[in-house]
Structure 1
Amino acid sequence: MLARERVRLYRYETMAAYYRLLFQSARHRLLHKWLQKAEARLAMVEKRYESGDVARVVPQEAKRQIASRRRRVLEAEGAMSNAYGELAWRLGLTPEALRRYDLPALPEPQEPKLTREAALAQSAACRLDLKAIELKRRKLQLALNHAKHLLAPRGDVALTGVHDVTYGEGYKLSFGLDMPLQRRAYEGESQALRAQMASLAWAKKEL
């Protein structure tokens, strides 16, 4: 009875090693595909940088992304090699002999459906160039709000007690309106800020 349980356990462990190999092989293919996409994107952004369409930070970020993905591909290659070795040992083969066999594809999990807006939001959250543009946009928005506040006239209402010989005791209600002396300067600043925000929106759209 004990020997039968050991054989069953060995079969389960061998199956687990087999699926680990399928997983590591699929992971390596996917990471290698991502690396190729990053390299293609770098070639594209370098051309756009040379023509002055994007800032220098864009190709620099693309190069950092490539370096990161290359490290992940190397890590995946090591994990896949270990998976080959484990399964080959359980089957009584050498890793070289096992590599001669074509591995079937790992069943693909069903991915959740994403709207285009959600997919773009997830992509933007991982890009430093878009984060930098968003930070600058927020700063410009704060400056624009401040300029609008300076443009607005300041009103003042006062209620004071008075004494009249004819009418006796009473109250006087007075209004005051203070117009900014530098209204034209504030208007020019607001227009300049709006132009900068429009330029940022265009740059973000081009990325």
Structure 2
Amino acid sequence: MRIVFLLLCGVTFLYAQELFTKQTLENYLTQENPFIYKTKAREYIYREQIKYFQGAFDTKLLLKYDKKRYPVTDGDFMEINIQTPLENGIEFLGGYREATGLQEYNNIKTGENGEFRLGVNLPVSALINGMNSRKLNLYSARLNTQQQSYRSKDNLRLLRFEIFSAYYKTLYSQALYKTEKELLEVAQKRKSIIEKRVKSGALAEITLLEANQHIINREQRLITAKNSFQNALELFLQYLPITREAFERHYTLPPLPEVIQNSFTEERAFALALEHRADLKVFSFETKRMDMEQQHTRLLKYPNFNVSLYGVHDLKYNNGFKLSFDMSFPFQRRAYEGRSKEILKKIEQVNNNRNIKVITIKTQIAQTLHSLKNIFTNIQNSKKEVTLVEKLQQAETKKYLLGLSNLFMVNQRELVTLQTKKKLLGYILEYLLLQEQLRKEIGNTL
């Protein structure tokens, strides 16, 4: 007998359904979930863009070969170089070249065995300013990745509200369905009693017809409630990597949780929002990018001045060098002035957008807290109302059993009780959604 008992316990354990709580839900919100992956997909793309812009600093092998046989002139040119750019703009060049005959595009000529060359190019303006185009592109890509990381967190914040709202709406639909089911069961039990009393002649047959009409009406209401529950469940399960069949096999939904009075003050909630809201942090990266672009724009304010120095060792004619200076400077500087003012306006726009966002967050927090307070009061009053209508329903039922009332009045009392319970459930759902709204405004993520 003991072995049989243990086997039965084991079977019961295998087929027992787990309560699907909020913690259970969060266990499904992993990177394997397509909805979670979607919030971070662009971040992964931006990370790869960093590698692309790092490629601007890759060491390159440069090859060139010319063979010319014109009617009057001829020449040969062959060059192999390795070029290495640094982040600060300096470029190093080293290689070998051989030039014989008359060159078409340069005056280079080497011994028959060629020459080795080693040089450096110094962008003086960029070095002094601390910024160049390749560095700007790379740093912007890094900022974009960091910025997108916070956008991903903000996407998670919004997705969390969406998912848990669907979860609570499903629990609410389930509660409505169970309430309608209980109302139908009461009518069915009463019908069986009425049938016996009609057969005994204690009640008229019309009473049985009225009881059947009540049952048909409640069956219709139950079907409507069941349809709403099934649709809410399907909408919720789309966020989980699990089929409905598997969900119903392994889990059962809990009732709507009891609400706890909110303890957040407006000041505390707003301070937390300023600290945790990822979408507010995004603005700082916008400003940093504008600052970098402004630093790069300053190159247009001064002469573009480059210095190049190359040393050569000809295998036949020994050593030599080449020093070159390259400078350009626009007198009007309209490019600098226009671009600089454009960036300043963009910075003003970013700061203004952030200020608007902060004002909006503060307003939404205040509205949510006011609503939470008022809905909680409605919940307390609604609970009292449910107790009162249940007592009135019980009293009407007793009057009916004593022959002092009729089935119509009992049905009306039951429907009033049903509507009052639905109203309470609606307040509870609204309160739970407002709590999630507050968490969303504060900036809590998954």
* CA deviation after TM superposition for structure 1 residue 62, in Å: 0.6
Aligned to 1:70: 219
- Would the aligned equivalents of 1:58 and 1:129 in 2 still touch at CA under 8 Å? no
Aligned equivalents of 1:67 and 1:90: distance in 2?
36
> Mapping of 1:1-207 within 5 angstroms?
1-100=150-249, 101-107=251-257, 111-112=383-384, 113-114=387-388, 118-119=392-393, 127-128=407-408
* CA deviation after TM superposition for structure 1 residue 115, in Å: 7.7
Equivalent residue letter for 2:177 = H
How many residues matched? 131
Equivalent residue letter for 2:161 = Y
Which moved further from structure 2: 35-44 or 108-117? 108-117
- Would the aligned equivalents of 1:22 and 1:106 in 2 still touch at CA under 8 Å? yes
Distance 1:80 1:72, change over 3 A: same
Aligned equivalents of 2:216 and 2:244: distance in 1?
29
Deviations 1:1-24 (A, max 9, x none): 443332211110100111111112
Aligned to 1:138: none
Equivalent residue letter for 2:388 = L
Aligned equivalents of 2:185 and 2:393: distance in 1?
20
When the two chains are superposed, the root-mean-square deviation of aligned CA atoms in Å is 3.1
Distance 1:34 1:115, change over 3 A: closer
SS in 2 for 1:99: helix
SS in 2 for 1:83: helix
Aligned equivalents of 1:78 and 1:34: distance in 2?
17
Q: TM-score, normalised by structure 1?
A: 0.53
* CA deviation after TM superposition for structure 1 residue 42, in Å: 0.6
* CA deviation after TM superposition for structure 1 residue 44, in Å: 0.6
Which moved further from structure 2: 34-43 or 3-12? 3-12
Aligned to 1:181: none
* CA deviation after TM superposition for structure 1 residue 78, in Å: 1.2
Aligned to 2:98: none
Equivalent residue letter for 2:246 = A
Q: Which has the higher contact order (CA 8 A, sep 6+)?
A: 2
SS in 1 for 2:204: coil
Deviations 1:125-177 (A, max 9, x none): 9943779xxxxxxxxxxxxxxxxxxxxxxxxxxxxxxxxxxxxxxxxxxxxxx
Higher helix proportion, which one? 1
What are structure 2's unaligned runs of at least 5 residues?
Answer: 1-149, 259-378, 412-446
* CA deviation after TM superposition for structure 1 residue 57, in Å: 2.2
Deviations 1:68-97 (A, max 9, x none): 111111112211111221111012322222
- Would the aligned equivalents of 2:396 and 2:409 in 1 still touch at CA under 8 Å? no
Equivalent residue letter for 1:20 = K
- Would the aligned equivalents of 2:171 and 2:256 in 1 still touch at CA under 8 Å? yes
Higher strand proportion, which one? 2
* CA deviation after TM superposition for structure 1 residue 67, in Å: 0.5
- Would the aligned equivalents of 1:85 and 1:94 in 2 still touch at CA under 8 Å? no
Equivalent residue letter for 1:128 = F
